[in-house]
Amino acid sequence: MAKAKAAAKTKKKAGKRPAPSGLSHIDQSGRANMVDVSAKAPTERMALAEGKVIMTKATLDKVIAGNAMKGDVLGAARLAGIMAAKHTHGLIPLCHPLPITKVEVDIFPEHSLPGFLVQATVKVTGKTGVEMEALTAVSIACLTIYDMAKAIEKSMRIEGIRLLEKTGGKSGPYKAEAGA
């Protein structure tokens, strides 16, 4: 009898619709749930995210010159960002595992900061977007720059991680306002 009640309770939960709040990962009862994308058609999707690592000019110059004690800071950061995008579903609890078709991590020295501008582009043909994958790639690439250069400067800051652009899916394209 207890098993039948538990099964009925589970079936009842499975049929709940998302909360009217507009938050797709929250059900009517306010519990977190993974969005059901099974009925959605696959579309080509892209997301572009960015972040910055702010440091002193001296640290920036050492990293650019390849004089960090741990080795190739920017190469390690690019690779870490790519790997992170591929593992986002294991890091963010309600993300779907996706068959990512492209991850590109670009790191640009910005003397005006001083520091590095990190950008990640992620693509997929699928039923859900890759915004979280792009944001995760940027976050981990920035953290890797910090880790690789912390022996030179511990006061570096990671700032401005944000989505710049996304395409595909039901909600359509998004582009961040310039300078926002």
The catalytic site residues sit at 147
Residues 75, 80, 86, 88, Cα dihedral to 10°: -150
Terminal-residue alpha carbon distance, the chain: 58
Residue with tokens 């009862």: 29
Torsion sign, CA atoms 60, 66, 71, 74: positive
107 φ, ψ (degrees, to nearest 5): -125, 120
